[in-house]
Structure 1
Amino acid sequence: MLDLDYFGQVHSVFNQTVNISTADSRLYSIAAAHIDNAPHNIRVAAPMHFSEMGIQPGDKVEATPGKLLVGKLTIDLADIVLWESILPEFPCKYPANLLEDNTKIMRKCIASNGKSGGLWDVWFSKAACCNQNVFIASLTERAQAFLTALRSKRFDDAYRTGCKLIGLGGGLTPSGDDFCAALLTVMNMPGSPFSEKYQSLGYRLAEAAVRQTTAISQEMLITAAEGQARENVITLLREVISGSEVTIEAAALKVLQMGSLSGTDWAVGLTAGLELGRELAEISEQGGN
C-alpha cells in the first residue's frame, strides 16, 4: 500500500496502471479495479483508461488527508482496502508425491497455454535446442546455469549466473527478470527448504538489478526478494499446494495472462522453484547437506 507520507511524481502511464516514483526510488502503482492486487498497489474504479486522462510522466503526486492527487486525477482513499501479500507455506510436510504431481499439472498447463518467445521455448519447445535465435540460446544457457548453481548451493556462482539473467529480454520486465523474480518468490515461502543464504542471494540480485534493468523490473525483483507477490501468483502457489487439477489450471491461466510474455516466464519460474524446493527437501530428509 502507498505510504502517504511521501510525495512523488508519475513515472509511467498505461491503460490499466499508473506508476509513481517516490523520493526513496521505489515504485507504487494505481491500477484499474479489475486488475489483481499487488504489493505497493492501489486499485481504483476509473471511468476510462488512465492513458486517456491527461496524466503525464513527471506530473506531481501529492498526498493530502484522505486523498491522493495524481496529476489531474483525484483518488478518494476513504474506501481503499489495505491488502497484504502473504505467501503460503511451502508444502514440506505434505505427502512426498503431492508437489511432484501438482507441478506436473502446472507444466502441462504452461506447455499448452504459454507463449513462445521466452522461457517457454527453453522448457517446452522441442525445437529450442535447434533454435538459432541468440536470445533463446542465451536465456537457455543462463537459466540452466542459475538453477544448477542454486541446486548445488554454490551461492557465488548463483549470484554471477543470476546477474547474467537480469535484463535479458525485451519489454518492461525482461524474461530473465521474470524468471528470477518467480524463483525468489518461492525461496521466500514460509517453511521452505531454502535457507537464509538463498534469501540473501535474492537481495543481492535485487541490488544488482538497479544497474542492469528497467525501473519497473527493479521494483519487481525488490518486492520478490522481500517475499511479496501479486495476488494471482499467491493464488497459484496456494492451489499447487492444496488444490485440484481444475483449480490449479484455472489459477495458472490467470498467471499466464499477465503481460505479453511475463506470465509465461513467471509460471515457468514458479514451477522451476517449486521443483527445486522439492529436490532440496528430499535431500534434507535423506540427511544430505
Structure 2
Amino acid sequence: MTPVATPVALSASSWDAALEETLSGGSRAQPHSTGPVAVAAGTRGAVHSVHGRVVNLRVGDGLIALAHESLDDAPWTVRLHAADWSALSGARVGDDVRITRNALSLSGGALVRVLLAPDGARSLTPDAGVPVGLPAALAVLDGVPSPAASTPFGALAADALSAGIRRLTRTARALLDGEPDAAEATTAAALRLLGLGEGLTPSGDDVLSGLAFVAAHPGFGLTALRHPLRLVAESAEQRTTLLSAVTLRAALEGRARARLHDLVGAIIAGDERAMHRAAAHTAEIGHTSGYDLLTGIRLGVVLALDIPRPSPFTEGDHR
C-alpha cells in the first residue's frame, strides 16, 4: 500500500483579516467587483505564480498571496515565518490548492497546510481623517528619485506614461470641478494608462492604484474619482495582468500594502518624518512599481490641494 504523505502544518505569521470573509464564502462580491472574492470552504484553486518571496494562488477571480514575513502585510496576503519559508520551495505553477475555513492547503511540489490563527489577523482599512500634511507630502514625494528604465521598451513607455498622467490630471480636475462629461473623459484617460509599461504590474497600473488608494480615503475629497476608476477596474483583467487587476481592486477599497497605509496615515497626521520613512519604504517595491505607486499618490495629493478647505483660523465659533 502506497503511504499517504502528511502535509507540513505551518502557522501564518500574519494574514489579511478580509480573508476570513473571503474563505468563508460570506462575501456577496460579484466577479470582477472591487470587493473580496467569495469562495466556499472546500473550493479548489491552483498555484498561479512562484517568486522568490511570494507564491500567488489563483482562487476564483482573485489571487491570494503566500509571502515571506520580510514583506509587509497586504490585501489577500498570508505572511509566513522566515523559518518556514523553505517548506514552499517545491511549489510549482499549477499545483493544487484547497481552501478551508481557517487554512490553505497546497499539494504537488510542496505539500503544505497553512493555518490562519485568529491572533494573526491584520486589518487593512482606509483612514477617514482629513489630511493636514498635503503641502509637506508634495515636497516629500517630489524628492523621491526616479529609477532608470530597465529596458528600451520601458524608456519608450515612460514618455507615453508622462503624457497619460497629464491627460488624467486634466480630466480629473474637470471632474472634481463638476464639469459635464468629465467622468467619461476621466474613465477614458485612465483606460489609456491601464497596461502601459512592463512587468508584473505595469507602470500605468501602479499609477492608477496609487491614485485609487488616495481617492478611497474620504478626507482627501477625491471620492468622485472612484466611479470612473471602478469602471476601469471592471475591465482590468482583460487589459493587464491579474496581479495588477487585483491590486487596483484592493486600492479602490482603500486597501494596499501596509507601507502605503503608513504613508497616507502620515499625510493625514501631518507627520513629515513618517512621510519620508514611508515614501522611501514604498519606493523599494520592485524596480519601478514603488515609484509608480508614489506617482499615483502624488497625483492624488496634487488634486486634493486644489480642493478648497476651511482654514484652521476660520474654523470654530464665529460669535
For Structure 1 versus Structure 2, the TM-score category normalised by the shorter chain is 0.7 to 0.9
Displacement of 1:65 in angstroms is 6.0
Q: Name which of 243, 249, 253 aligns with 1:222.
A: 249
Q: 1:95-132: CA deviations, max 9, x gaps?
A: xxx41123212222x13xx42339xxxxxxxxxxxxx9
Is 1:35 equivalent to 2:71 in the alignment? yes
CA RMSD of aligned residues (A): 2.3
Instruction: Work out whether residues 105 and 114 of structure 2, in 8 Å CA contact, stay in contact via their aligned partners in 1.
Output: yes
Query: Any residues of structure 2 matched to 1:123-162 within 5 Å, and which?
Result: 133-153=155-175, 154-162=182-190
Q: Structure 2: which 5+ runs fail to align?
A: 1-15, 24-40, 176-181, 311-319
SS of residue matched to 1:47: helix
The residue type equivalent to 1:15 in the other structure is: G
- Decide which structure has greater helix share: 1
Aligned amino acid, residue 163 of structure 2? E
- Identify the match of residue 74 of structure 1 among 85, 92, 113: 113
Offset of residue 150 of structure 1: 0.3
Q: Are 1:58 and 2:58 counterparts?
A: no
Amino acid at match of 2:62: R
Instruction: Return the match for 2:136 from 101, 107, 110.
Output: 101
Give distance in 1, aligned partners of 2:115 and 2:87. 19
1:115 to 147, 154, 167: 147
Alignment of 1:13-28 (within 5 A): 13-23=50-60, 25-28=61-64
After alignment, is 217-226 or 57-66 more displaced? 57-66
Rounded Cα–Cα distance in structure 2 between residues aligned with 1:248 and 1:151: 25
Structure 2 distance, partners of 1:199, 1:218, is 15
Other structure's SS at 1:178 match: helix
* CA displacement at 1:244 relative to structure 2: 3.5
| Partner AA of 1:101 in structure 2 | A
Give the secondary structure class of the aligned counterpart of 2:201.
coil
Cα distance in 2, alignment partners of residues 42 and 227 from structure 1? 19
TM-score by length of 1: 0.83
Alignment of 1:253 with 2:292, yes or no, is no
What count of residue pairs does the alignment treat as equivalent?
261
Code of the residue aligned with 1:167 in structure 2: it is G
Q: Structure 1: where are the runs of 5+ without partners?
A: 119-131, 284-289
CA distance in 1 between counterparts of 2:269 and 2:93 reads: 43
CA–CA distance in 1 between the matches of 2:128 and 2:55? 32
**How far, CA to CA, are the matches of 1:259 and 1:26 in structure 2?**
21
Residue identity in the other structure for 2:64: Y
Change (3 A) 1:64 1:185: closer
Amino acid at match of 1:182: G
User: 1:203 corresponds to which residue?
Assistant: 230
Deviations 1:55-89 (A, max 9, x none): 11111111346532123222132366112112223
Structure 2 partner of 1:186 = 214
Kindly state the Cα deviation for residue 7 of structure 1 after the two structures are TM-superposed.
2.6
Distance in 1, matches of 2:249 and 2:68, equals: 23
The change in CA–CA distance for 1:208 and 1:257 in structure 2 (over 3 A counts) is same
Which residue of 105, 112, 122 maps to 1:83? 122
For 2:149 and 2:91, the matched residues in 1 are separated by 32
Question: Structure 2 CA distance, aligned partners of 1:91 and 1:50?
Answer: 43
Percent of residue pairs identical: 26
- Conserved in 1, the CA contact under 8 Å of 2:149 and 2:155? no
Per the TM alignment, residue 37 of structure 1 is displaced from its structure 2 partner at its CA by 0.3
Question: Contact (CA 8 Å) 2:75, 2:256: kept in 1 or not?
Answer: yes
Larger Rg: 2
Contact 1:151 1:276 in 2 (8 A): yes
SS in 2 for 1:85: coil
Question: TM-score, normalised to structure 2's length?
Answer: 0.75
The aligned residue for residue 267 of structure 2 is: 240
Measure, in 2, the Cα distance between the counterparts of 1:77 and 1:136: 41
Shift of 1:168: 0.4
Moved more, 248-257 or 185-194: 185-194
